[in-house]
Structure formats: structure tokens, C-alpha cells
Amino acid sequence: MIYLDNAATTLQKPAQVKEAMVEAFENCANSGRGGYGSSLKAAEHVYRARERIATLFGVEDCQQIIFTYNATYALNMAIKGVATRGSCIISGYEHNSVVRPLAQLRKNGISCYVARGRLFDREDMIKKFTSQLKRNTKLAVMTHVSNVFGYILPIREIDEICYKKGIKLIVDASQSAGSVPLKMSELRACVCICAPGHKGLYGPQGTGILVCKNGEELKTIIEGGTGSMSSEMSQPDFMPDRLESGTQNIPGIAGLSEGVNYVNNVGVEKIGKHEKKLISYLAKELCKCKSVKVYAATDENLQGGVLSFGSDMLSADEIANKLSEFDIAVRSGLHCSPVAHETVGTQGGTVRVSVSNFTTENDILFFLEKIKKILSEK
């Protein structure tokens, strides 16, 4: 199979990810629940994973790394843990994992405003963001890379604006973690970075990360057993116990640890360069096809490993279904981000191609051969 749906999850993982999961499954018990060998071994996996993730995201205290089930869970924890009053501002490229929690918070009187900057126009994004700021804006939530178009948003500039205005920033790194550099230590207003384990970090499904600057300041939305302060009725006030309750996914964390280790060893910049090269070539070749609309940046530094396109000859679903007949996996539709389609004007959805460090030039060539065949037959 030619797998080009890495924005949903990376199917091809480093071999050591599976090996670590099997080893943890066979040898690890509950972390922090006992002084015996299998419990201590689980704790070692967890701590090692925190250290590797802290290195990736430039975090000094690895105890500020929280393990979740996915990025959606992390975003809910961050948004609901920070948003207590005032209004919030988001970009016009957000995933439903941001939009829906904020819609829920409207019931608590927290309003939300959308900055709909033009696609691949960083200056316009900054301008629209600034124009949507209100006197009571307390929080901004911004995706680092659009999961629909691969657009790399101006996070550093937005962070600086937020810092000067006293606004807290939450970054959704679902499509950037592992391929676009992002360091908590280099951001001043950012209080949380949320990321999935199963995408660009090459971990298993059911893993996610909440990276905090000061997690002790977040409201908790889940309380329970932590293995610490068990005689107390209230949740511990220190990290990571404050935001981590219940039994952890030790095999998943062990696998994620090896996925992050792979990214750290190869290098985020190198992985990103590989993905951009493939997407840039794919966009150039698709633009040669008649009746195809390609949503690509003229400057490859503005686009990550995701590309959307459409055709007036076939719907996005029809194209994806025909590609699957050639055993090519892509995604069609709204990609859980209707706000992004409203911003760009692609309400009918797009065909999305997304690559990873395991995608080859031959994969792209095979894809191009078949998509041209599909369009020519139509």
C-alpha cells in the first residue's frame, strides 16, 4: 500500500516502537504503585519518555510533561484548564478539537473570535489576529500547522503579540510535532503545547502529550488515584500528579518514547526538509493537471507535509475512492476542520495527501501516475 494519510496517523513506525511496546506489555506493571521490579520498570519507561519529550520541546522540567490519550484530550485539558473568563481568539484553521471545547465553554460565558487570515499569508494572519483582539481577550488557541492545507502559521509572532497583551497562548502541534521546530523555551506567552503521539512522533494510537509551562496553574478536569498523597481527599497540587490520574498506558508510553527518540536522533529539521521536498514536488506536478486546483504555498517554508487539492471533474470522495482501488491511502472530506474550509472557501472538502519521514519519492511518483490516469479517464 502507498500510505499518504500520515496527517491522520503514521502507519509506518520505527521498528523499535513495536519492540518497546511488546517488552513493556510483557514486563511492566503499574507505574508508581509499588516498589517491586515490574512497577519500577514501568516508572523507568515513563520517566525516560518525559525526558525525551522535554528535550524535543525545549522544556527544562520534564515533570511538566503530561501523558494523555491523544491531542484532543490534551487540548481539552489545556483549554478548559486555562479558560476561566473573558474571550478567546483562534485562527481560521483550527481543528474541531479546538472549536468544540470552546463551543462548550460558551455556556459559561466565554466568547470566541476567529482570525481568518488568507491561506499561506503570514502577514495577513498577523493582521487579522490583531484586529480580532478584544479588551477582554484572555486566551488564544492557535494551530501550528493546518491539518487541511499544511499551512505553517506564524506562531512566534502570535506568541509575541500575546505576551505584550498579557494573553495566554495554547499551541496545537498536532501536525507539526516531529517535523517543524517548536520549543516552549523560545515562546513567552505559550502556556501549553498539545500534540498526539501517533502522528509525527511515530508513537502508537491512544497516546498524546500535554506540555505545560506551569501545569500547577491549570484547573483540573479529572481527579483520581495518582499513587501519591493517597490519604488526602483533594488532588495533589504538584506536577505531574496534578494532571495525571489513573493507570497509565505503559506500553503506549514506551512505544511513544522510542518514537520521540527516533525523531530526536534523526532531527526535526531533517524530517521537515524531507517532507517539504516531497510536498513541493507533488504540488508542482499536480498543478500541471488540467481541472485540478492545488492549495500550495509558493514558498515551501510556509507549508509542512500536508497538501490539499480538488478537481471540478470528480468530487474529493470520488477521487479518494478511485485511488484506494490502486491501494493508495489518502483522506477526503472536511478532515474534522470545517472552519479551515470556510476560511479558504473549500466547503465541499478536499483530497488530502500527507507524508512522513517514511514516504519515498517512488510513493509520490506512483501516486502521480495513478491520479493522472483517474483524471484522464474521466
Please state the domain extents for the chain.
2-10+267-377, 15-266
Partner residues linked to 111 by β-bridges: 87
Are the CB atoms for 334 and 349 separated by under 8 Å?
yes
Whether the bond between 240 and the residue before it is cis, its omega within 30 degrees of 0, is yes
- Cβ neighbours of residue 180 under 8 Å, at least 6 residues apart? 144, 145, 152, 268, 272, 304
Closest CA to 172 of 106, 94, 225: 94
Task: Tell me the three cell numbers of residue 42.
Answer: 514501568
Per-residue pLDDT of the chain (378 residues; tens, 9 = 90+): 999 999 999 999 999 999 999 999 999 999 988 899 999 999 999 999 999 999 999 999 999 999 999 999 999 999 999 998 899 999 999 999 999 999 999 999 999 999 999 999 999 999 999 999 999 999 999 999 999 999 999 999 999 999 999 999 999 999 999 999 999 999 999 999 999 999 999 999 999 999 999 999 999 999 999 999 999 999 999 999 999 999 999 999 999 999 999 999 999 999 999 999 999 999 999 999 989 999 999 998 999 999 999 999 999 999 999 999 999 999 999 999 999 999 999 988 999 999 999 999 999 999 999 999 999 987
The fold for domain 2-10+267-377 equals Aspartate Aminotransferase, domain 1 (3.90.1150)
Question: Which pLDDT value is given to residue 84?
Answer: 87
Fold agreement between 2-10+267-377 and 15-266 = no
Are the CB atoms for 184 and 59 separated by under 8 Å?
yes
Instruction: Assign 3-class secondary structure to 158-173.
Output: HHHHHHHHCCEEEEEC
Closest CA to 50 of 196, 263, 210: 210
Question: Which pLDDT value is given to residue 118?
Answer: 98
Distance CA 54, CA 45 (A): 14
Task: Tell me the three cell numbers of residue 371.
Answer: 491520479
pTM of the model: 0.97
Closest CA to 287 of 223, 204, 372, 220: 372
Are the CB atoms for 148 and 308 separated by under 8 Å?
yes
Question: Which pLDDT value is given to residue 126?
Answer: 98
Pairing of strands 331-333, 350-354: antiparallel
Q: Looking at the domain covering 15-266, what would its CATH class be? A: alpha beta
- Cβ neighbours of residue 271 under 8 Å, at least 6 residues apart? 178, 179, 200, 263, 357
